[in-house]
Chains A and B, each alone.
Chain A
Amino acid sequence: MTTLIRMRQVVQDNWRLLDPAADGALPPVPREDGDVIVPLALWRREREKLVARNGRLGVRLDAHEGPEEIADDIARFEVIAVHFPKFTDGRGYSTARLLRDRYGYKGELRAIGDVQRDQLLYLSRCGFDAFALKEGRDAEAALGAFSDFSEAYQSSVERPLPLFRRRFTNAPEGMEWS
């Protein structure tokens, strides 16, 4: 059981996350039933076995693994976990946007690895809805990050219309400033 922020609430999570070993060696397909998130390489190698298991399936993408690599299989996954080796490695933000905007992924999109409070808002704007915070970080306290900003200029997964289009839909006469 791990603590997770999901849909902006702290929850306990039953999914088992299988990480590749430090040397890249892949873990075996678990014999026991249950929900499991597997490395992309394991999915590629053991697809049949993984599909035949009892339990839901998720896939783990590393920072360099783009959504193109699972494009044809997206419907098979209930969780896609994107790994951040360091929070300053921003590739996962684009991965998330592409999964949501281009590949139409509707399942859980989970940020894992070096995930911290001060990145949660941008991550959620890019389409992440679940966050496994880095070890030792206070999930309850981190929830405040979602309300750091009340508005955003850009188009995002959460709100595809950028502010400039909403200004005019909200105020058909035009300007909404005072």
Chain B
Amino acid sequence: MYVYDHIDQRLVDERVAQYRDQTRRFLAGELTDEDFKPLRLQNGLYLQRHAPMLRVAIPYGELASRQLRALAHIARTYDRGYGHFSTRQNLQFNWPRLEDVPDILAELATVQMHAIQTSGNCIRNITTDHYAGTAPDEIVDPRVYCEILREWSTFHPEFAYLPRKFKIAVNGARADRAATRFHDIGLHAVRAADGSVGFRVLVGGGMGRTPLLAPVIREFLPWQHFLTYMEAILRVYNRYGRRDNLYRARIKILVKERTPERFREEVEAEWEHMKDGPATLTREEVERVAQRFTRPDYEPLSAGDTGFERRRQTHRAFARWVERNVAAHRVPGYAAVTLTLKTTGVPPGDATAEQMDAVADLADRYGFGELRVTHEQNLLLPDVRRSDLFALWERARELGFATPNLGLLTNIISCPGGDFCSLANAKSIPVAEAIQRRFDDLDYLHDIGELDLNISGCMNSCGHHHAGHIGILGVDKQGAEFYQISIGGNQGNDASIGKVIGPSVAQDEVPGVIEKLIETYIALRDSEHERFVDTVRRVGLEPFKEAVYDDAHQDAAGRTRQLAVA
């Protein structure tokens, strides 16, 4: 965990005072709706369908148990006793009162938290790999650079009124687990031949109505130039990004319209002026930031644990959970454990205050009081002793966090959708639930294997449907809610954007369509090792289209499923 120093704390406290005064002036009629709107948005406050929504920043997804308890306290005191973990590694409260928000922010500040720049046309919360610091394939701990970026972007005076929102992701490992190709800027740590650290810089990716994979703008940016290069990119965007059309205002459109080559030339020309200037990073600063992170006090343990292995062999449900929800750790004897917030019947990412307290207790008991929020809307305990896994599993199961579905179809990523969000065309949570109910057979689920299913209630793509192996998008068809299905999207090193299979379908048809897609995949995969997305890539869209839209195939597909289950 990064621990604030007195300056970090003072700035957050001053922000609370500033926003308290802005709220006072708004309520007194001194600020109009229009003038107040960008101010409240830059403090995370939306005015939503039912009530305001407050988005709290969880910088790069890292959370201390005491912070989670504070969030639980806020949920109980100011909200309806729950919160929603979003795909941006943030937490959203859906029912706070506008008048209470300054008090909520003051409570957050007491535990080194805030809602700064969680919305608005500014640089948003920086996201990263939730396995940061624990992953065996890590090149650099990305959190140090995330924190450097957090400080740099917080109250950046030049970039508070950009053409549109701006999202940066940093990945420090060999595998891309931060979806860097889908961000406005993606930074991928690389080590040069001489061992020095740098970043591959990708600019102009994104989802929304124009999904694009970010092209590489620079293959290797030495770490010293990390901030000046960001300034150059942001300045070119701030000056030339489109402001005439909300839907053409993201940086991806600028990069596309100018071509990546020309955009690169402009950035490099701008950077020439800033390079080696005062914002050039120093070794001391990187070390200072690194030292402000608390580090787990790992015990020297052996990698093998006989008790753990025995349990795994004798206890099938435990073994399945370990297989799905437990990840390898760079420190022998430890593991990173995902607590899934994807129980059927509960909106993906939702957690009650009691659950938050319970998870905080687990983090204290089985870890070092530290947690991560994943962009798949789960919570992660990063440093669990392997010998504690069985006890943790039993406790997590009682609490409902041990659904062994990480990476499987029912680990659905979903935005809050039309039930909560005023932007949505359609509901997403009931769709997620209907699919989870349809695929409630764990054996079948495991047989299907790795599958990301993502749902967005509208083109804003908060549910990352473009990056789902199966993506579902809510659309409005003459006032009725319909769903467009795409397949073949993927995040990670071989990222791709899903392709739409055909006309959209009604809400009650969605689970049936998903079933047909799965049946087609099972029938076509070359072995159980070929993932859904790989089959789609190999055979193309046609067989899937036929299965879904050609009624004549229905019976045959039904039989395939029977066979697959048998």
**Chain A residues close to B by CB (< 8 Å):** 66, 87-91, 93-95, 97, 101-102, 116, 118-119, 121-123, 125-126, 148-156, 160-165, 167-168, 174-178
Given contacts A89-B161, A122-B158, 12 further A-B contacts (CB under 8 A): A87-B38, A88-B161, A90-B158, A94-B235, A97-B235, A118-B35, A151-B11, A153-B156, A154-B157, A155-B279, A162-B278, A164-B281
**Chain B residues in the interface with A (C-beta under 8 A):** 5-7, 10-11, 14-15, 17-18, 22, 35, 38-39, 121, 151-152, 154-162, 227, 235, 238-239, 243, 273, 277-279, 281-282, 284-285, 288, 291-292
Q: Roughly how many angstroms separate A77 CA and B15 CA in the complex, as a whole number? A: 37
Contacts of A94 in B (CB 8 A): 158, 235, 238-239
Q: Report the bound CA distance from A154 to B5 in whole Å.
A: 16
Complex alpha-carbon distance, A38 and B22, angstroms: 35
A142 to B170, CA, bound (A): 38
Query: Provided the pairs A89-B243, A149-B14, A175-B288 are in contact, do residues A154 and B279 lie with their beta carbons within 8 angstroms?
Result: yes
* Minimum distance in angstroms from A17 CB to a CB of chain B: 23
Bound form: Cα–Cα A161–B330 in Å = 38
A123 CB to nearest chain B CB (Å): 8
Of A102, A162, A178, chain B has the most CB atoms within 10 Å of the CB of: A162
Pair B279/A162 contact, Cβ less than 8 Å: yes
- Report the separation of the CA atoms of residues A88 and B162 in the bound assembly, to the nearest whole angstrom: 8
B160 x A122 contact (CB < 8 A): yes
With the chains together, A153 CA to B285 CA distance in Å? Answer: 12
Report the nearest B residue to A162, measured CB to CB: B279
A90 contacts B159, C-beta separation under 8 Å: yes
Which residues of A have CB within 8 Å of B162? 90
One of B22, B157, B243, B292 near A126 (C-beta < 8 A): B157
Which of A88, A122, A150 gathers the greatest number of chain B CB atoms within 10 Å? A88
Shortest Cβ distance from A93 into B: residue: B158
**In the complex, are the beta carbons of A165 and B14 less than 8 A apart?**
no
Question: Which residue of B14, B22, B38, B291 contacts A88 across the interface (Cβ within 8 Å)?
Answer: B38
Q: Residues of A contacting B17 with CB < 8 Å?
A: 148
| Inter-subunit contact A118/B288 (CB<8 Å) | no
Interface residues of chain B: helix, strand, loop or mixed (majority): helix
CA–CA, A174 and B287, complex, Å? 10
Most buried by B among A91, A160, A161, A164: A164
Chain B residues closer than 8 Å to A125, beta-carbon distance: 157
Q: Which of B14, B152, B288 contacts A154 (CB 8 A)?
A: B152
A-B residue pairs in contact (CB < 8 Å), sample of 24: A87-B35, A88-B38, A90-B158, A90-B160, A90-B238, A91-B238, A93-B157, A94-B238, A126-B157, A148-B18, A149-B155, A151-B7, A152-B155, A153-B11, A153-B155, A155-B277, A155-B278, A160-B277, A160-B278, A163-B151, A164-B285, A167-B288, A174-B288, A177-B5
Report A172 CB to chain B, min CB distance, Å. 11
Give the CA-CA distance A91 to B160 in the complex, in Å.
10
User: Closest CB of chain B to A162's CB: distance in Å?
Assistant: 5
Interchain CB contact under 8 A, B35 and A116: yes
CB-based contact B282/A164 at 8 Å: yes
Known: A66-B239, A174-B284. A93 touches B161 (CB 8 A): yes
What is the CA–CA distance of A93 and B239 in the complex, to the nearest angstrom? 9
Docked complex Cα distance between A96 and B281 (Å): 24
Contacts of A126 in B (CB 8 A): 157-158
| Bound CA span A148–B17, Å | 8
Contact A153 B154 (CB under 8 A): yes
Determine if B161 and A87 form an interchain contact, defined as CB atoms under 8 angstroms apart: yes
Please, which residues of chain B bring their CB within 8 A of the CB of A97? 158, 235
**A87 proximity list for chain B (CB < 8 A):** 35, 38, 161
Which residue of A116, A118, A156 has the most chain B CB atoms within 10 A of its CB atom? Answer: A118
Report chain A residues within 8 Å CB of B282: 164-165, 168
The 3 A-B pairs at the shortest CB distance, nearest first, are namely A90-B161, A177-B5, A122-B157
**B6, B154, B288, B292 — most chain A CB neighbours (10 Å):** B288
Contact (Cβ within 8 A) A148 B14 = yes
Q: How far is the CB of B201 from chain A (nearest CB, A)?
A: 19
Q: Which of B22, B157, B161 contacts A156 (CB 8 A)?
A: B157
Report the bound CA distance from A100 to B243 in whole Å.
24
Q: With the chains together, A165 CA to B286 CA distance in Å?
A: 11
B11–A149 CB distance below 8 A: yes
Question: Complex Cα distance A146/B11, Å?
Answer: 14
B14 touches A177 (CB 8 A): no
Whole-angstrom CA separation of A102 from B151 in the bound complex: 24
Shortest Cβ distance from residue B225 to the other chain A in the assembled complex, whole angstroms: 14
Contact call A153/B151, Cβ cutoff below 8 A: yes
* A95 → chain B closest CB, angstroms: 8
A165 CB → nearest B CB, Å? 6
Contact B6 A152 (CB under 8 A): no
Q: How far is the CA of A67 from the CA of B460 in the complex (A)?
A: 35
CB distance from B11 to the nearest CB of A (A): 6
**CA–CA, A152 and B22, complex, Å:** 20
Contact in complex: A121, B239 (CB < 8 Å): no
Q: Are B14 and A150 in contact (CB under 8 A)?
A: yes
Chain A residue numbers with a CB within 8 Å of B38 are: 87-88
- Asked if residues A165 and B10 are in contact (CB atoms below 8 Å), the reply is no
A120 to B435 CA separation, bound complex (whole angstroms): 51
Asked if residues B155 and A161 are in contact (CB atoms below 8 Å), the reply is no
**How far, in angstroms, from A139 to B157 measured CA to CA in the complex?**
21
| CB-based nearest B residue for A165 | B278
Q: Which of B151, B238, B278 contacts A161 (CB 8 A)?
A: B278
Contact yes or no, A163 B7, CB < 8 A = yes
| Given A88-B161, A153-B152, A162-B278, A102:B239 Cβ within 8 A | no
Which residues of B have CB within 8 Å of A88?
A: 38, 121, 161
What residues on B are CB-neighbors of A118 within 8 Å? 22, 35, 39
B121 and A154 contact, CB distance less than 8 A: no
CA distance A70 to B281 in the complex (A): 32
- The answer to whether A102 and B121 have CB atoms under 8 Å apart is no
Q: Which of B6, B154, B278, B288 has the most CB of A within 10 A?
A: B278
